Amino acid sequence: MRILIIDDDPTVCASLKLLLSRKGYEVFSINHPSIALSTIEEKQPELILLDMNFTIDTSGKQGMKLLKLIRDQHSEISVILMTGWATVQIAVEGMKLGAKDFIAKPWENKDLITSIQSIEKLHHAKENTLTSEINSTQQAIIGESQEIKEILSMIDKVASTNASVLITGESGTGKELVAEAIHQGSLRHNQPFVKVNLGGIPTELFESEMFGHKKGAFTGAETDREGRFAKANTGTIFLDEIGELNLSCQVKLLRVLQEKTYEMLGSSQVMKTDVRAISATNKNLGQLAVNGNFREDLYYRINLLHIHLPPLGERRSDIPLLVKSFLSKISNLYQSDRPFLDDETMNWLSNQEYKGNIRQLKNIIERTFLLNLNKKTLDKKDFFPAFENTQIGIGQGSSLNLEAMEIKTINKALAKHDHSISASAKALGITRSSLYRRIEKYGIKHEPKI
């Protein structure tokens, strides 16, 4: 790989040339941005290490201006930004303009080489294979609204970088799906994608869950246990509900994200980790940081790139597509024909309020389907019971959930048809084998008449 260094400090250039030449790279350097474009034309580099400041001005504007010129005229060339006056704002702006990574001076040789190697792999990867995987994952993100198009475009931009990403949005908007799409579009797509619900980990178990423990580290630790960061090594760790972490846990998380090292409970051995962090929250972390409830340094560490998911009420044009998708999936599950919804019913569904967003809509569609298994057409009246059961909120104030409703429906069919599997399956609109699987799954008492 040919690498061009653009930095006004000859010492920096000499140091980088020595380091990179020893790694087998073909390296060139210049000390002034005025000859950058002509040098690029002459040397045809595949990667540029670009300093952000060339005078006493430390705002980064000079480097940003040159970055834009490079991206406009040579979009195929990867760029890593470098500066001794690192700020999150510069990094974010640079990433939006197309930079692949951001390295602060003084740099760590290992981190710089890792970043370059990642970009090199991307150059050598088969573009059509990677694009196919990105498109395949993004197909799960349903919608044609402008909001969704912008999110898909953002996923394309951030996926190939190694930068940390913060995904925000109300509960039920699809944050985990976006995180998976970013992972599948990255160079780590063949490595682990480890999901962690930080809101569900008790404070006293945080270190054990995240970093693992050795046998005998505490009462009840009868064997060694691998932590989440070890499981995610070389891959991606998805830190869901990060806004629920208390300050003491935030300190421990910051250390591993910042230093890329940790220690298992009961061990003094320092472990290294190579993970990309994608975080998600439905809370305003910026405001929590202002109030002192979330560490500002951790906020900046996880929020290098930001994707915000709008509530379903702000993308109502996508509701018909979502409804059709949910109906298709559940029809396949029950081996039944997909019921028809006329325009009036679809418009009515599109104008309802969904405080639980996509998750609530999916819940309503599944409930209605289960209560109307034999119907070929569904109208808005068929959806009334499902809406009544979700007025207080998903999973709250209702004694019925999907599993309970399915059990109740199967029991009613069995009782009505004297526990005849054939007759009950036919009435439910599913196959005998599907009914047998559900009877076994839920432990339903089946007492056929003799």
Q: How confident is the model at residue 401, as a pLDDT?
A: 56
Rg of the chain on CA atoms, in Å: 27
Q: How confident is the model at residue 448, as a pLDDT?
A: 61
Of 66, 90, 89, 88, nearest to 79 by C-alpha is: 66
How far is the C-alpha of 410 from the C-alpha of 413, rounded, in Å?
5
Of 29, 70, 4, nearest to 62 by C-alpha is: 70
The domains of the chain are located at 2-124, 128-308, 316-442
Confidence of residue 392 (pLDDT cuts 50, 70, 90): very low
The CATH classification of domain 128-308, taken from the options 3.60.110.10, 3.40.50.300, 3.60.20.10, 3.30.43.10 = 3.40.50.300
Q: How confident is the model at residue 402, as a pLDDT?
A: 62
How far is the C-alpha of 328 from the C-alpha of 408, rounded, in Å?
23
How far is the C-alpha of 158 from the C-alpha of 154, rounded, in Å?
6
Cα-based distances in Å from 434 to 334, 362, 422: 7, 22, 11
Q: How confident is the model at residue 132, as a pLDDT?
A: 43
Confidence of residue 54 (pLDDT cuts 50, 70, 90): confident
Mean pLDDT, range 108-134, rounded to an integer: 68
Q: Indicate whether 424 pLDDT > 60.
A: yes
Q: How confident is the model at residue 59, as a pLDDT?
A: 72
Q: How confident is the model at residue 382, as a pLDDT?
A: 92
Q: How confident is the model at residue 131, as a pLDDT?
A: 42
**pLDDT, tens only, 316-333:** 999 999 999 999 888 888
How far is the C-alpha of 303 from the C-alpha of 197, rounded, in Å?
18
Q: CB-based contacts of 209: which residues, under 8 Å, 6+ apart? A: 196, 201, 227, 228
Q: Indicate whether 345 pLDDT > 60.
A: yes
Name the token pair of 105. Answer: 């001076």
How far is the C-alpha of 115 from the C-alpha of 103, rounded, in Å?
9
How far is the C-alpha of 349 from the C-alpha of 342, rounded, in Å?
11
**CATH 3.40.50.2300 for the 2-124 domain, yes or no:** yes
Q: How confident is the model at residue 399, as a pLDDT?
A: 39
Confidence of residue 5 (pLDDT cuts 50, 70, 90): very high
The answer to whether the CB of 148 falls within 8 A of the CB of 308 is: no
How far is the C-alpha of 310 from the C-alpha of 208, rounded, in Å?
35
2-124 and 128-308 share one fold = yes
Q: Indicate whether 396 pLDDT > 70.
A: no
Q: Indicate whether 134 pLDDT > 50.
A: no
CATH of domain 316-442: 1.10.8.60
Q: How confident is the model at residue 141, as a pLDDT?
A: 87
Name the token pair of 394. Answer: 């998903």
Half-sphere exposure (CA, 13 Å, Cβ side) for 303?
Answer: 19
Please report, rounded to a whole number, the percentage of residues in the chain having pLDDT higher than 90.
48
User: Does 447 or 426 have the greater pLDDT score?
Assistant: 426
Mean pLDDT, range 264-279, rounded to an integer: 93
Arithmetic mean of pLDDT over the chain: 85
Q: How confident is the model at residue 56, as a pLDDT?
A: 62
What phi and psi values does residue 312 have, to the nearest 5 degrees? Answer: -60, -30
Q: How confident is the model at residue 389, as a pLDDT?
A: 62
How far is the C-alpha of 431 from the C-alpha of 334, rounded, in Å?
8
Q: How confident is the model at residue 130, as a pLDDT?
A: 41
Q: Indicate whether 252 pLDDT > 90.
A: yes
Q: Indicate whether 58 pLDDT > 70.
A: no
Confidence of residue 24 (pLDDT cuts 50, 70, 90): confident
Of 225, 191, 190, nearest to 208 by C-alpha is: 225
Backbone CA torsion sign across 271, 118, 132, 165? positive
**pLDDT, tens only, 145-191:** 999 999 998 998 888 888 899 999 999 999 999 999 999 988 899 99
Confidence of residue 336 (pLDDT cuts 50, 70, 90): confident
Name the token pair of 38. Answer: 């002509």
Of 78, 82, 123, 77, nearest to 100 by C-alpha is: 78
> Strand order of the sheet with strand 193-197?
193-197, 236-240, 276-281, 165-168, 305-308
Confidence of residue 17 (pLDDT cuts 50, 70, 90): very high
Q: How confident is the model at residue 340, as a pLDDT?
A: 92
Q: How confident is the model at residue 378, as a pLDDT?
A: 93
Confidence of residue 309 (pLDDT cuts 50, 70, 90): very high
Q: Indicate whether 85 pLDDT > 70.
A: no
Confidence of residue 447 (pLDDT cuts 50, 70, 90): low
How far is the C-alpha of 379 from the C-alpha of 125, rounded, in Å?
50
Backbone CA torsion sign across 87, 91, 94, 100? positive
Burial 349-380 (b: 16+ CB within 10 A, else e): beebebbbbbbbbbbbbbbbbbbbeeeeebbb
Backbone CA torsion sign across 100, 197, 180, 346? negative
Mean pLDDT, range 263-267, rounded to an integer: 91
Q: Indicate whether 245 pLDDT > 60.
A: yes
Confidence of residue 1 (pLDDT cuts 50, 70, 90): confident
User: Does 242 or 204 have the greater pLDDT score?
Assistant: 242
**pLDDT, tens only, 183-226:** 998 889 999 999 999 988 888 889 999 999 988 888 777 888 89
3-state secondary structure at position 160: coil
Lowest mean pLDDT among 23-32, 245-254, 421-430: 421-430
Task: Locate the DSSP E strands across 188-275.
Answer: 193-197, 212-213, 225-226, 236-240, 261-263, 270-272
